[in-house]
Amino acid sequence: MEKFSPGEGAGLQARAQAARKAFEDALDDNLNTAEALAAVFNLVTDGNTAIDRGEFRDGDRATFLDVLERWDRIFAALEDNDHARLMEFGLAKPRAAAVGAQDNGEHGDGHQDSTLIETPSDEEVEKQIAARNLARKRGDFPASDRIRMDLAKYGVVLEDTKAGTRWKRK
80-106 per-position pLDDT tens digit: 677 677 777 777 766 554 444 444 444
What is the domain count for the chain? 2
**Quick check: is 3 in a domain?**
no
Q: Say yes or no: 164 and 93 in one domain.
A: yes
Domain stops at, among 75, 102, 121 = 75
Q: Say yes or no: 105 and 165 in one domain.
A: yes
Q: Say yes or no: 159 and 89 in one domain.
A: yes
Domain stops at, among 75, 95, 110 = 75
**Quick check: is 1 in a domain?**
no
Cα 114 from Cα 101, distance rounded (Å):
18
**Quick check: is 5 in a domain?**
no
pLDDT tens digit at each of 170 positions of the chain:
678 888 887 789 999 999 999 999 999 999 899 999 999 999 999 999 999 988 999 999 999 999 999 998 888 777 667 767 777 777 776 655 444 444 444 445 454 455 555 678 888 899 999 999 999 999 999 999 999 999 998 888 999 888 889 898 88
Domain stops at, among 75, 100, 120 = 75
Task: State the pTM of this model.
Answer: 0.51
* Domain membership of residue 56 as a residue range: 12-75
Q: Say yes or no: 120 and 138 in one domain.
A: yes
The pair phi, psi for residue 18, each rounded to 5°, is: -65, -40
Q: Say yes or no: 21 and 65 in one domain.
A: yes
Residue 12 CA: distances (Å) to CA of 1, 15, 64, 110:
19, 5, 9, 57
**Quick check: is 4 in a domain?**
no
